[in-house]
Structure 1
Amino acid sequence: MNIINDPLFYFAAVPAVLLAGISKGGFAGGLGMLAVPLMALAIPAPQAASVMLPILCLMDLVGSWSYHKHWDYALLRRLIPGAVLGIVLGWLLFKRLDGWVVELFIGLLAVLFAVQRLLAIQLKDTSRLPEWLRASIWSGLSGFTSCLAHAGGPPMMVYLLPKQLDKTVLVANLTLYFALVNYLKLVPYTELGLLDARNLGTAMVLAPLAPIGVYLGIWLHNRIDEKLFYRLSYLFLLATGLRLIWQAI
């Protein structure tokens, strides 16, 4: 099988996949964006994103069905059109960006998100725009950042957190939303040639960790100190983002 052979890559990829699965399965997926920056320490950022996409799709299958009783179809109908437009914009820009630009973009996203969460800065949409337009704007931004770096979580948090949804309902609908987004992203990633044999082979090697991480997250959903889990993870994300920025520069 044609796979990535660098041991440093797997040293970063194994915890990245497990943490992404735990976050997706039990903590609203906020740390799904950790995987690509961490992998990008060992391989180019676009390659890291392409290796992670099939793994995310597998996680989505496991996580979505586990929470299917809590789906809100009206909410999802508001979010998906904007997400599709964001993915298309990301697809068009992906063709025109050098690898170091993507790396810098991912690093900046990681640092900004980690700092915002560590400092407990509350980002809220206080505009008086119609609900459908607000949903479209934030889901469009989510689709765009998700296409480039699987980092669509922060815009969704800005839109959804002020709604004060039940924790389980929030996790359930974010899981299904990103399942739809990630499967849509298979089209541009295939057209861009990112899902080649080497990247798909590497994803297959890491794939068994996907359901393990998701089920760990589901099990930990009501058992772990969520604040401690996130604080440590955000510190790790901050360090990884800074390293990526330095690497890109």
Structure 2
Amino acid sequence: MISLLTDPHFYLVGIPAVILVGLSKGGFGGAMALLGVPLLALVVSPVQAAAILLPVLIVMDIVSLWTWRGFIDKRLIAIMLPGAFVGIVIGWLTAAVVTADHVRLIVGIITFLFFLRWAIGKLRRDQRASRHNPPKGFFWGTVSGFTSFVAHAGGPPFQIYALPLRHDPKIYTGTSVIFFAVVNAVKVIPYFALGQFDTTNLAASAILMPFAPLATLAGAWIVKRMRPEIFYPFMYIMILIVSLKLIHDGVTGLWGW
């Protein structure tokens, strides 16, 4: 513990990682959240980085729940959250078999195809909002819960279902905040069972936590002032960046390119 907490490199990458994730948690694009674990993994193992960040994520969730209170699509939560619970259980049971790099590559490819579908629709000027589809929502909720548990990459599957609904940006963000607050809280149990919370990781989490609320509030401040015609193109560009990063990380991890 002493060596990690006195290592200046831990602070040089840990603090920016928390700020980027906090901006994302506030609603300012999911691409930033995916940078958290890779940045922290420059000084610790990816598994340890994920364990250190989870308590920080929960603090961010608490701030986000207060900031976005009252903005929610209850039907989306009712459709997707049960699937997320199933996905978390699957991730827990397969933790020793499925690697995070496989998950990143698969999710990256799926998310990239989702972006292409949106881009083609925009060229055709087909921007109609989708309606709720419970089987589809349950499926993507399951995928989101699974990828969130294995690789902290639950955002893209959630967005694949939620973004085409074209909610008001505040409703979209508030609903995603509630969804992932519950998912992260539930993940604590299997993370404890897998032995991911030791003294070193919890101490590191405590050091980084003060930066979490400020970054989260800053992200929320920005999103609340964005118009839908700016918010949605921005989110889809973030999805493109996310997909390319996931593919890159997956390929690099699996084949060492």
Spell out, residue by residue over 1:30-79, the C-alpha distance to the aligned partner (whole angstroms, 9 max, x if none): 53222112222332211111111101100000001111111222321111
Partner amino acid, structure 2, of 1:11: L
| Partner of residue 66, structure 1 | 67
Q: Is the 8 A contact 2:80 2:138 kept in 1?
A: yes
| Partner of residue 139, structure 1 | 141
Q: Does 1:205 align with 2:201?
A: no
Distance in 1 between the 2:11 and 2:102 partners? Answer: 23
| Partner of residue 90, structure 1 | 91
Distance in 2 between the 1:237 and 1:15 partners? Answer: 21
Alignment of 1:1-249 (within 5 A): 4-5=4-5, 6-27=7-28, 29-96=30-97, 101-102=99-100, 104-105=101-102, 108=105, 112=109, 122=118, 131-221=133-223, 222=225, 238=244, 242=248, 245-246=251-252, 249=256
Distance in 2 between the 1:9 and 1:233 partners? Answer: 28
Distance in 2 between the 1:191 and 1:74 partners? Answer: 32
* TM-fit CA distance, 1:90: 0.6
Q: Is the 8 A contact 1:34 1:237 kept in 2?
A: no
What TM-score results when the alignment is normalised by the length of structure 1?
0.81
| Structure 2 stretches lacking a partner, 5+ long | 122-131
Q: Is the 8 A contact 1:139 1:155 kept in 2?
A: yes
What TM-score results when the alignment is normalised by the length of structure 2?
0.79
Structure 2 counterpart SS, 1:160:
helix
Alignment CA distance shift 1:7-1:144 (3 Å): same
Spell out, residue by residue over 1:164-186, the C-alpha distance to the aligned partner (whole angstroms, 9 max, x if none): 11001000000010000000000
Partner amino acid, structure 2, of 1:174: S
Structure 2 counterpart SS, 1:4:
helix
* TM-fit CA distance, 1:190: 0.4
**Cα RMSD between the aligned structures?**
3.4
- Name the stretch that deviates more: 28-37 or 181-190: 28-37
Q: Is the 8 A contact 2:107 2:157 kept in 1?
A: no
Structure 2 counterpart SS, 1:10:
helix
| Partner of residue 127, structure 1 | none
Partner amino acid, structure 1, of 2:203: G
* TM-fit CA distance, 1:12: 2.3
Alignment CA distance shift 1:234-1:16 (3 Å): farther
Identity of aligned residues (%): 34
Distance in 2 between the 1:28 and 1:233 partners? Answer: 8
Alignment CA distance shift 1:237-1:138 (3 Å): closer
Structure 2 counterpart SS, 1:26:
coil
| Structure 1 stretches lacking a partner, 5+ long | 125-129
- Name the stretch that deviates more: 182-191 or 69-78: 69-78
